[in-house]
């Protein structure tokens, strides 16, 4: 039975039936996570240098070799190893890759979405952090890329759900975008549009007022004219 890799919400190995499997060592989990964030094939020297940046190239290569040698049999099946490269086996699925593809599908405004791309499971897939509480440089860089992409994806889901009249679900997507970055005006605007579409004018104003206070307190800024215009008709 094939093991797949999850890096959203934390690291996990899961089998085809969704059951968990614990990798034997921390170094094994780190290597599998690293490969899950990279293309299928990577130069061994590049992997070693990124994972052990504070030692010499020779020691980093030895650490990589030792990690591969100590991996338990099932985890080792996930990795393809050549003399100068290594990567994940072709049949290994990674949740980040499928969620990344989902977000990219949502971005073009001129393309009609697949219904599955705006269902609750799809919103949930974009609502999860990448490897929270991991602080390696290679994780933080990937997490920042994922953060920006998933905010755009969640805002796109909100827009599409509003257009489909699925307003409660649109609110869930908008709030998920706000939770990623509360100071992001486009996420706040998405939630305001949901409330306006619902006819909940007081809720729209409450979101605007709360954001105005947050923005001023955090950065000394006021909402843009564009956002203010969005709620102007409500107050007339």
Mean model confidence pLDDT for the chain: 93
What are the boundaries of each domain within the chain? 3-88, 97-235
pLDDT value, residue 186: 98
Strand partners, 79: 88
Structure tokens at 230: 């969005």
pLDDT (tens digit per residue) in 75-103: 898 999 999 999 999 989 999 999 999 99
Position 235 pLDDT exceeds 80: no
Please state the separation of Cα 105 from the chain's center in Å: 14
pLDDT value, residue 24: 65
pLDDT (tens digit per residue) in 167-182: 999 999 999 999 999 9
Q: Which CATH architecture has domain 97-235?
A: Alpha Horseshoe (1.25)
Position 218 pLDDT exceeds 90: yes
Burial of 133 (0-12, 13-18, 19+ CB in 10 A): exposed
The Cβ of residue 1 has, within 10 Å, a number of other Cβ atoms equal to 8
pLDDT value, residue 23: 67
Query: In whole angstroms, what is the distance from residue 86 CA to residue 26 CA?
Result: 19
The Cβ of residue 200 has, within 10 Å, a number of other Cβ atoms equal to 15
Query: In whole angstroms, what is the distance from residue 149 CA to residue 135 CA?
Result: 20
Q: Check if the beta carbon of residue 90 is closer than 8 Å to that of residue 78.
A: no
Position 236 pLDDT exceeds 90: no
DSSP the chain: --EEEE-BSS-EEEETTS-EE--S-HHHHHHHHHHHTS-S-EEHHHHHHHHSTTS-HHHHHHHHHHHHHHS-HHHHTTEEE-SSEEEE-TT--BHHHHHHHHHHHH--TTSPPPGGGGSHHHHHHTSS-BSTT---HHHHHHHHHHHHHHHHHHHHHHHHHHHTT-HHHHHHHHHHHHHH-TT-HHHHHHHHHHHHHHT-HHHHHHHHHHHHHHHHHHHS----HHHHHHHHHHH-
Q: Which residues of 86-119 are buried (b: 16+ CB within 10 A; e: fewer)?
A: bbbeeebebbbeebbebbebbeeeeeebeeebbe
pLDDT value, residue 1: 60
Q: Which CATH class is domain 3-88?
A: mainly alpha
pLDDT (tens digit per residue) in 27-86: 999 999 999 999 778 999 999 999 999 999 999 999 999 999 999 888 898 999 999 999
pLDDT (tens digit per residue) in 116-137: 999 999 999 999 999 999 999 9
């Amino acid at each position: 039975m094939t093991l797949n890799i999850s890096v959203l919400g934390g690291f996990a190995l899961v089998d085809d039936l969704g059951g968990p499997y614990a990798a034997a060592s921390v170094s094994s989990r780190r290597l599998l996570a690293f490969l899950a964030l990279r293309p299928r094939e990577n130069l061994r020297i590049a992997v070693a240098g990124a994972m052990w940046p504070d030692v010499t190239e020779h020691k980093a290569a030895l650490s990589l070799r030792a990690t591969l040698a100590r991996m338990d049999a099932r985890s080792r099946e996930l990795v393809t190893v050549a003399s100068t490269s290594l990567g994940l086996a072709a049949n290994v699925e990674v949740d980040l890759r499928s969620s990344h593809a989902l977000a990219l599908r949502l971005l073009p405004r001129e393309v009609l979405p697949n219904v599955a791309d705006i269902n609750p499971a799809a919103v949930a897939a974009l609502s999860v952090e990448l490897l929270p509480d991991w602080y390696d440089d290679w994780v933080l860089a990937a997490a920042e890329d994922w953060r920006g992409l998933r905010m755009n994806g969640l805002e796109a889901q909100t827009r599409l759900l509003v257009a489909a009249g699925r307003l409660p679900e649109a609110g869930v997507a908008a709030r998920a975008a706000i939770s990623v970055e509360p100071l992001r005006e486009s996420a706040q605007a998405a939630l305001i549009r949901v409330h306006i579409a619902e006819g909940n004018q007081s809720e729209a104003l409450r979101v605007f007022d709360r954001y105005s206070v947050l923005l001023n307190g955090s950065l000394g800024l006021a909402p843009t004219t564009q956002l203010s215009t969005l709620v102007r008709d409500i107050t007339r």
